[in-house]
Amino acid sequence: MGGSVAIFGLGAMGSGMAGSLLRAGLTTHGFDINTDAVARFRAAGGAAGSIEEVASGLACVVIVVVNAAQTEAVLFGSDGIAAKLKPGTAVIACATMAPDVARDLAKRCADLGLHYLDAPVSGGTIKAGEGTLSILASGSPEAFEQARPALDAIAAQVFELGDKVGAGSSMKAVNQMLVGIQIAAMAEAMTFGMTQGVTPEKFLEVIRQCAGTSWALESRAPHVIAGDYTPLSAVDIWLKDLGIVLDIAKGAKFGAPLTAAALQQYLAASGSGLGAEDDAAIAKVYARNVNLTLPGEA
């Protein structure tokens, strides 16, 4: 195999993943429109060189941007990289996007001889930094083979979902639907309990051992209890991700009432100025509607 890696997008997720690539001993080039982020990455061991200078030595590129539009811009925008990569390079596309869009990008990559891997990630910024993400991946055997060293560096678990691009994005949408609903459900249940005298601490202690538990509850309830809304994953991420989910659903004429109800609560959070806070801040929407004081509030 051999070859180096280029990662596009050095934000909260991308910079963690880039660090994991370096720790795995892979020569890694990092690119971002934020030149400070690029400088930090190079200071941490990132390899130098413009994409034009390094393209011929790349085994794969990892694209960790916010959405499909940014992924398309990286690949096919003015100054896009797709035309600069040599045939046989793997393109690991990590953003959450609609399966149809992933299939379109894959086709345009295939026309240039590039191996597209539909590879959304799950796990958040902490796991990104640890190299312990989960990757929901689909693509050709060639794409997997070429991407393998990078995948092994950034993920604890790679779900191989077959050779059809779109399967990874579909599974990611399913997962985001559930996480988005279940964070909102945690907030709804915790604040409902407070109206009946159940403290947030007791809520977490008991419910995590009962049938009402979920990964989302065990992950996010502690944020509310601590009154700490430092964004590990921000409210506004859900406007995007549940928006993508509902767009896909609409395309299939699939009614998703719980997803829609959850999105309304995230919208109320974002609309009232909480968009950049941790998504557990959705609890504030519920709390203010019934005059509850959450932990850490005055």
Q: How many other CB atoms are found less than 10 A from the CB of residue 126?
A: 12
* Distance, CA of 199 to CA of 224 (rounded, Å): 11
Residue 84 appears among annotated catalytic residues: no
Amino acid at 15: S
Residue 136 interacts with a copy of itself (CB under 8 A)? yes
Residue 125 interacts with a copy of itself (CB under 8 A)? no
Residue 198 interacts with a copy of itself (CB under 8 A)? yes
Which residues 62-101 are close enough to bind a copy of itself by CB under 8 A? 99
> In sequence order, what are the residues at sequence separation of 6 or more whose Cβ sits closer than 8 angstroms to the Cβ of residue 51?
6, 29, 31, 81, 84
Which residues 251-290 are close enough to bind a copy of itself by CB under 8 A? 252-262, 264-265, 286, 289-290
- Find the shortest distance in angstroms from Cβ 171 to a copy of itself: 6
Q: How many other CB atoms are found less than 10 A from the CB of residue 99?
A: 21
Pick from 58, 85, 128, 181: which binds a copy of itself (CB under 8 A)? 181
Backbone Cα Rg of the chain: 20
Residue 119 interacts with a copy of itself (CB under 8 A)? no
Catalytic residue among 172, 240, 253, 284: 172
Token output for 143: 């794409």
Residue 185 interacts with a copy of itself (CB under 8 A)? yes
* Distance, CA of 290 to CA of 242 (rounded, Å): 26
Strand partners, 5: 28, 60
Interface with a copy of itself by CB under 8 A: which residues?
A: 99, 122-124, 134, 136, 157, 159, 161, 164, 166-167, 170-171, 173-179, 181-182, 184-186, 188-193, 195-198, 202-203, 206-207, 209-217, 219, 245, 248-249, 252-262, 264-265, 286, 289-290
